[in-house]
Homo-oligomer: A and B are copies of this chain.
Amino acid sequence: MKKVMNQPENIVDEMLEGMVQATPNRLRYLKGKGVLVRTDAPVDGKVGLVSGGGSGHEPAHGGFVGRGMLDAAVAGEVFTSPTPDRILEAIKAVDSGKGVLCIVKNYTGDVLNFDMAAELAAAEGIQVEQVVVNDDVAVEDSTHTTGRRGIAGTVFVHKIAGAKADQGASLEEVKRVAEKGIRRIRSMGVALTPCTLPEAGKPSFTLEEDEIEIGIGIHGEPGVERTKLLSASALTRTLADRIYDDLPYRAGDRVAVMVNGMGSTPLMELNVIHKEFITYLNEKQNQVVDSWVGEYMTSLDMAGFSLTLFQLDEELESLLAHPVDTMAVRFGK
């Protein structure tokens, strides 16, 4: 696969530079640390929010740094957890004295490194709490995971925790809404093509021209089934059934949905899938109050998508609608 890059080993650093140059008023780059921080961090009287993980999932996580979402994002190398010392730098950069919540996707390396960073921060007198997102219903354990993987639903957790923190809530309260969100969010993905790591130059796995893999992870981890390419309608229903029955969601639930592109699936197709997902949820008698359609948690240049369903209550619906101003998500006053 062709990639536009310079030296593969510099791609993460150059990308982060490019992101900051696009919004210099919003982002500051801790050069050599892989950390993007809000220019106004630490924000007085506000709980700090940190997320991150391996690179290759853009706009995650740097695209979600800004008012109403994250205060900092830590980027590791491609598909590689950031080291504890880098996470510690992010925590220190955003702590205003009110404590810091780390939002971690459930991968063994990420959980370990964020844990270690939290201990280091505690030793410096910073109060750190952590939540672990595990929204992927496809598999229980996987290549890099014990338990379920964290995928695109993580972005909804950023949104509601970010809103709560923006409202001045305590660390305990911000953690509470994040955990409530995690209990109510489920996702599942499908790959049409593999992804290619910059340094490898070759796809991480292969799929035949008429073949797809259902339940795949965001690093190309195996899914649950290889099958022939299905219609948008059949494919959406296959994923949606698995997601819906898992919680389970119920008729009458007010929900938010995300149709997340994996990196090289055009908006045209994502919108067709969104239409099918809405049709499905209407049949189930759910009211969709918010739809996010686009690229939020990608897997390099993989073609494919994931669906996410979020069961709301009054508090979560209000937090989802709270104003936000980041590179990748912006709305409100």
Give chain A's interface residues, CB within 8 Å of chain B.
2-6, 11, 14-19, 21-23, 55-56, 58-59, 63, 192-193, 209-210, 212, 229, 231-233, 235, 263-275, 278, 288, 291-293, 295, 298, 300-301, 303, 305, 325, 330-331, 333
Contact = CB atoms under 8 A, between A and B. Distances in A.
A36 to B, nearest CB: 11
B264 A266 contact: yes
B272 A21 contact: no
A266 B298 CA distance: 8
Given A19-B271, A21-B291, A266-B301, 15 more contacts: A2-B209, A2-B212, A4-B269, A6-B233, A6-B272, A14-B232, A15-B275, A18-B273, A22-B274, A22-B293, A55-B268, A264-B265, A266-B298, A330-B330, A330-B331
Contacts of A193: 2
A220 to B, nearest CB: 14
A232 B274 contact: no
B268 A58 contact: yes
A329 B223 CA distance: 35
B4 A235 contact: yes
A211 to B, nearest CB: 9
Contacts of A17: 271, 275
Contacts of A6: 231-233, 272
The 9 lowest CB-CB distance pairs between A and B, nearest first, are A264-B264, A18-B271, A18-B275, A58-B267, A18-B274, A22-B291, A15-B271, A2-B192, A330-B330
